[in-house]
Each structure stands twice: as C-alpha cells, then as structure tokens.
C-alpha cells in the first residue's frame, strides 16, 4: 500500500504467520525494537500502532503500546514490548493483520527506531 510507504520504503512492519501456528495457545509474545544511539540525553516516546482498514473518519491505526524512555548518549538500545494480545487477535482473525507501525520519536522529532537501515547502517 503506497500510503504505508515513505520514500518508497515501508513505514510499517508486516508479519505473516503460518497456518500451523494459528491454533496454538500464545503464552508470551515480545516485539524487540532497536533504538539508534543519541548524542545527548533524550526522552524518547515509543508508539506501536496496529494498522486497520480505514474508518469513515480516515483513521488507519489503533494504539497497541506507548512508552516513554530516557536514553543516555552512547550505544543504541534494545527495547521489548509485550504484543501477546495483538498476536492472539491476529491468530483468531488473520484477515485483521494489516501490520504494525513502529515510532520512536526523540525530543527533536527524529525517529530512532530502526525498521529499515539508513544508508551506511548495517541491518539488524
């Protein structure tokens, strides 16, 4: 979907599940995201949004989780987020799986979540 792209690259992460796991009980589901390093102490607002079919008011997503993190200069960090309920719902209704959007905005407005490597960046 072109509406889910920025500069020709996906701005969402899509997960496809095998029909073999569809009927399994989900005990735990964690989504790990990597946040780029910062140069100064920064407060980061992380949002995980579930993409949905557009509603009449134009809404295309619902919130899954929001976190506020304080990052110090140095190496990037890994952050885990509980997505058990989302996964359970996707397995019950696979047609509702339109993907998720991950945002991690620093105080300067830059997105620190690595969902697609930038030029010169290694993939994860």
Domains recognised in the chain with CATH numbers: 12-113 (2.60.40)
Neighbouring C-beta atoms of residue 26, cutoff 10 Å: 15
- pLDDT truncated to tens, each residue of the chain (124 aa)? 444 555 555 555 666 777 777 677 889 999 898 999 999 999 999 999 888 877 788 777 788 889 999 999 988 899 999 989 888 888 888 777 778 888 899 988 888 988 766 777 665 5
How high does pLDDT run on average in the chain? 81
Helices (H), 23-123: 84-92
CA dist., res. 71 & res. 112, Å (int): 11
Q: What phi-psi label fits residue 56: left (phi over 0), alpha (psi between -120 and 50 degrees) or beta?
A: alpha
- The predicted pLDDT at position 123 comes to 55
Counting Cα atoms < 13 Å in the Cβ hemisphere of 31 gives: 26
User: What's the distance, Cα to Cα, between the start and end of the chain in Å?
Assistant: 24
- The predicted pLDDT at position 73 comes to 93
């Amino acid at each position: 979907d072109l509406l889910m792209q920025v500069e020709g690259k996906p701005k969402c992460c899509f997960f496809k599940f095998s029909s073999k796991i569809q009927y399994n009980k989900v005990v735990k589901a964690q989504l790990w995201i990597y946040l780029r390093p910062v140069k100064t102490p920064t407060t980061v607002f992380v949002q995980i949004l579930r993409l949905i079919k557009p509603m009449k008011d134009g809404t295309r997503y619902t919130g899954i989780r929001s976190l506020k993190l304080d990052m110090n200069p140095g190496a990037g960090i890994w952050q885990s987020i509980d997505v058990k309920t989302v996964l359970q719902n996707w397995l019950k209704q696979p047609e509702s799986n339109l993907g998720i959007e991950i945002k991690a905005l620093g105080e300067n407005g830059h997105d620190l979540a690595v969902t697609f490597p930038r030029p010169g960046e290694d993939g994860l």
